[in-house]
Structure 1
Amino acid sequence: MALLTEPLQFLVPAAHGLSVPVGGFLRAWQAQRVLFDELRGLQVALELTAQRLANCLGAGGKLLWCGQGASVATAQRLAAMLSGVLRPDGRPLAALALSGMGMDVLARQVQALGRPGDAIVMLSAGVAPGPLLEAARAAADGALLVVGLLGPAPEELAADCHLTLQLPEAPPERREEAELFLGHCLCGLIRDQLAGA
């Protein structure tokens, strides 16, 4: 029982002259570093996308977020960031996350809540888009701006989006981390655009 209650101390070894074997942590860190270096190629597209979304919100529209798989939680987090739930220091913006299972649940929410001039951001991180396809088509039919933050090409959902940001090829967990990072950047850029308007 003493082993379970023994205090543990983890130290980061100095990098000077130490040979550290490449284990699970270092392998994941290196993979993430390579992926994040590739994300720099999305900078201009991300800034332009943020400008379009800020224009939508600045004109009185709202921003819907939806995801598939692990991206559902990311969509909820990003909507909460913009609406002021997670960032009470800024002006609350009209953003909400859609959720639901089944092929037409998201599409029906888009039909119920979306209005011309609104925008929707689809998050898939490279999983099969499933219900997102129907939601994207419902959004396009309703005159919403459809933005996709998607997995690597070819991505089936890209054809139904007005603007797409596609992640480079990487293991699913690395793509999900990159998706969250890009989502946070997008939210920050939207706030910056609106603050400067």
Structure 2
Amino acid sequence: MSGRAPYGLVAVTCAVLMVVLGLLVSGVGLSGPDALADGWVRRTFGEDVLRLLVLPTEAYVLIPIAVLAVALCLSGGHKLEAVLTVVGPLIAILANTWVLKPLFDRWKNTYLAYPSGHTVALVAVLTVLVLLARPGVATAVIAVVGAVVLGSVTIGMIGLGYHYLTDVVGGTLFAVATVCATWTLLTWAARRRAPVPSDG
């Protein structure tokens, strides 16, 4: 995984979009796009299917995936990537729970909803997997599978009443921003610590 790719630019762009969307929906209930998505999902899917679709957001699914990724990184001698696998999602989840949700103050039923915490956890792990994959086919496959999983989870969370569509979009943007920013900082710090080659 190259630290020279424009991960910082991706992080800033996603963060700005997340903030703009959050300001638009802050303190607001069902928006126009949310209402359209909600109506379509409820007409199309049954509850049993919806509960199956949200399974990838559960901790007992995500934690083993992250642990396996860490183990593979360490076995290959990729310590920096192992740190990213743990720190990136952890920062995203904690910042979303303790900072962003209270800041944007968007409620659904009795809980703060924007950005979606389920989405942040899932997309943070998926983003790490995309960054860790070898460039080329592996990256494309993981990205496509991740997009399908995210789409399925979105349907499930909307149908079960967990979140609005815009909550999921905001969670996706924040997770990508956080993981990319974390990787940018980690690679920058690693380069700062690297010994300077001698001219002699």
The TM-score, its normalising length taken from structure 2, stands at: 0.29
Bigger share in helix: 2
Structure number with greater CO (CA < 8 Å, separation at least 6) is 2
Between structure 1 and structure 2, the one with the greater Rg is 1
The TM-score, its normalising length taken from structure 1, stands at: 0.29
Bigger share in strand: 1
